[in-house]
Amino acid sequence: MIAGKEVKPLENSSVELTVTIPKDAAQKEYDELVTKYSKTLAVRGFRKGKVPVNVLVQKFGDSLLSEASANIIENGLKEALEDIEKKPLAYAIPELQGDPNLELGKDFKFTVTYDTFPEIEVGNFKGLEIEAPEASVSKKDEERELEALRDQNAVVVPKEQGAVEEGDIVTVDYVELDGNGEEKAGTSRQDFVFTVGSGYNLYKFDDDIVGMKNGEEKTVEKEFGDDYEYEDLRGKKVAVRTKVTAIKTKQLPELDDELAQDINEKYKTLKDLKDDVKKRLEDDLEERLRRTKLDALMDQVIESSKIALPKAMVDAELELSWDNFVAQSRLDERRVLELLRSQGRSRETLFEEWKPSSEKSIKSRLIINEIAEKEKLEATEEDVEKELARQAELRESTVDEVRELFEKNNSMEYLRRDLTDRKVFDLLLDNANVKKGPKMSYMDLVNKNQ
C-alpha cells in the first residue's frame, strides 16, 4: 500500500516517521468507502442501498474524505511499522502531526512522531572507586530492638489514678472556639485516640494535656507558624477546648524466657531471642552497607552513561508511582487529591518532585539490563531453586509451598530478574575499589538510607 517512508530521529529517543501513500491506493480506499455507504446509508428520496454515488458525494463529501484519510493513515502506519527498526514503545501512541487532507488524484502523505526504546551507551562499570562508611551493631542497638519487642507485646490497661503522662494512650473530645468562645462548626471531634508525645493530632496539643486527669477539661491556646504542616492553621492563633475522657497506659512485659516464647515458639530461652536479634541486626547492617556501596557505584555508572530517556517512558514511571502512592494511602484517588489540595499541592506538583528519582530509576534499570546482557549474566534454574529454599526457610514453609505462591502470583519471572540483578550487583562490587569511609553508628546508617 505505501510508496515510501522516511524516518528522522528526534531528541529524547523520539522518531518522526513520514509515510507516502500512492494516489491509486488512496483512491481505492476512498472508492471502497463510498461504495460501502451507498449500499448501507439511508438518504431521503432513495431506497436503502440505492443511493447514487454522486448524490452521496454531494451530501457527505467532506466527511467521506475525512474518514477515508483516517483509514488510510491507520492502515498505512500499521504497514510502515512492520519492518521498521525503531518501533514505538508499547505505551507510546504515535501522534499525528498537522491535519493532512486527502486530495483525490494525488499521493497522500502524513507524518507521525512517537517515542522509541532509547539507545544505551553504558559508561565504565569496572574498577570504580567508592567510599563506604564503617559501621557495626552495638549493645545499645540490640537493647533498643529488645525494648521495641517489649513495647510490641505490651498490654494496654486503664490508668485508674494519676494524670496524663507522655507515652499514655488517651481519648479526648475537642472543638475549636471562635473569638466569642463559641464552638466553630465542623471542628468538633469525639473520642479521638492518640499516644501522647506522638504528635498525631491536628493541633499538636500533646504537651498541653500532660498533667490533666480523666474527665478534666480545659481550653488550650495554640499559635502556628507559616510553615505549619496543615495549611488551614498556618499563621493562626486558635483556642481549642479539650476534654480527657480516658487514659490508658502500657504495661511492658519482663524481658525473660516467657517473653521470648510468646514472641515465637522457636525461641526456648531469652538468649535464643537475643542471639536472633543480634543476627537480624547484623544481616540488616550488611545489606544496608551493600546498598550504600551499590548506590555510589550506580551513581558513577549513570553519570558516565549516555541514555536519552523518552518522555513516554518517564510518564509511565510517574503514573506507576502515582498508583502506588494512592494504593499506600488506602484512600480513593478523589480523597487523595482533596488532601493534596488542602496542603497546597497537586498530582502535577508531586510528579515534578518525583521526576528526578523516576529518571534515575529508569536509567538504573536500563543499565543493569544492558550490563547483564553484555556480561552474559542470567539466573539459572539452580539459582532459582536455592532462592526458593532460602525463602522457604525464612517463612518456615516448604519449597513447594513457596514455589506455588510465586507461580500463583505470576512472580517467577520477577524472581529470575531479581536474581539476575544480584549477579550484576555482585559484578560491580567485585570489580570496585572500596575505600574506608567515616565511622558511623548503625542508627545513623539506618536514617541515612531512609
Q: Tell me: pLDDT of 100 over 70.
A: yes
Verify that 271 and 361 share a domain, yes or no.
yes
C-alpha to C-alpha distance for 217 and 326, rounded to whole angstroms: 38
Q: What is the CATH number of the domain that holds 63?
A: 3.30.70.1050
**Residue 149 lies inside a defined structural domain of this protein:** no
Q: What is the pLDDT of residue 450?
A: 64
Verify that 246 and 263 share a domain, yes or no.
no
C-alpha to C-alpha distance for 448 and 263, rounded to whole angstroms: 29
Verify that 399 and 313 share a domain, yes or no.
yes
Q: Which domain holds residue 297?
A: 129-136+259-449
Q: What is the pLDDT of residue 252?
A: 92
Q: What is the pLDDT of residue 139?
A: 95
Helix, strand, coil shares, percent, the chain, to 5? 50, 20, 30
Q: Tell me: pLDDT of 136 over 70.
A: yes
What pTM was estimated for this model as a whole? 0.78
Q: What is the pLDDT of residue 81?
A: 94
Verify that 424 and 333 share a domain, yes or no.
yes
Verify that 275 and 424 share a domain, yes or no.
yes
Verify that 352 and 430 share a domain, yes or no.
yes
C-alpha to C-alpha distance for 343 and 350, rounded to whole angstroms: 12
CB atoms within 10 A of CB 47: 8
**Residue 145 lies inside a defined structural domain of this protein:** no
End position of a domain, from candidates 230, 251, 272? 251
> Looking up cell 512522531, which residue turns up?
113
Verify that 279 and 233 share a domain, yes or no.
no
Taking only the tens place, the pLDDT of each residue in 396-436 is: 899 999 999 999 999 999 999 999 999 999 999 999 999 99
Q: Tell me: pLDDT of 51 over 80.
A: no
Q: Tell me: pLDDT of 395 over 70.
A: yes
C-alpha to C-alpha distance for 11 and 171, rounded to whole angstroms: 59
Q: Tell me: pLDDT of 446 over 70.
A: yes
Weakest-pLDDT range from 43-47, 63-67, 310-314: 43-47
Q: Tell me: pLDDT of 186 over 90.
A: no
Over residues 80-96, mean pLDDT:
92
Verify that 112 and 19 share a domain, yes or no.
yes
- Count of structural domains, the chain: 3
